Structure 1
Amino acid sequence: MESSKVYVDVTAEFSKEGVLTPKSFRWTDGSVYEIQRVKDIRRAASLKAGGVGMRYTCIVNGRESYLYYEDNNMWFMERAGA
């Protein structure tokens, strides 16, 4: 069974105020997806994949996706259909 937690490479920016904002991510097939907008940032657990961290509610290709920044400084997403 495939894990529902997928670690991804993320390009992000730190503002001068210290706010971390993801700009794009690379999926497992090598495709890079631009994040058009971050709607919300909050500490939350992934109910599908397990793990906890800062959950970024992102708009990618017009759809809402969750991107998590774990306390171990790694980014993950939930695999669709998991």
Structure 2
Amino acid sequence: MEQTVNWEKVYVDTLVRHTKDGGSIPLSIKFSDGKTYEIDQVLGRKRAAASKVGGTGIRYSIRIGQHRTFLFEDEGLWFVEAKNLHV
């Protein structure tokens, strides 16, 4: 059976440190099922589109363990592009 990958926008709770110069540093993300992932490193930050699920915002390139992914902030809401596998 062949699997197809669909992407969906998943909003996540995000623990963020705000710096005195107005910057934001995401520290961890929590999904609705309660799973929490510590962000080991923020690799970059820029305004960009979420090409897989639509929308724009500040795109953070992050590393969680050995996995690199994107975390987006749009007007105070945080989301990720999550895989939704269908057989």
TM-score scaled by length of structure 2: 0.84
2 CA distance for matches of 1:12 and 1:45?
Answer: 21
- 1:20 is aligned, of 21, 24, 31, to 24
**Structure 2 regions of 5+ residues with no counterpart?**
1-5
Does residue 5 (structure 1) correspond to residue 9 (structure 2)? The answer is yes
Say which one has the larger Rg: 2
Q: Where does residue 78 of structure 2 map in the other structure?
A: 75
- Deviation of 1:53 (Å): 0.2
Instruction: State the shift of 1:50 in Å.
Output: 0.6
* Larger RCO (CA under 8 A, 6+ residues apart): 2
In 2, the alpha carbon distance for the partners of 1:81 and 1:47 equals: 16
1:46 aligns with 2:33: no
Structure 2: how far apart are the matches of 1:81 and 1:3? 6
CA root-mean-square deviation: 1.7
Identity, % of aligned positions: 35
How many pairs does the alignment contain? 80
Q: Tell me, what secondary structure is at the counterpart of 2:14? A: strand
Q: Give 5+ residue unaligned stretches, structure 1.
A: none
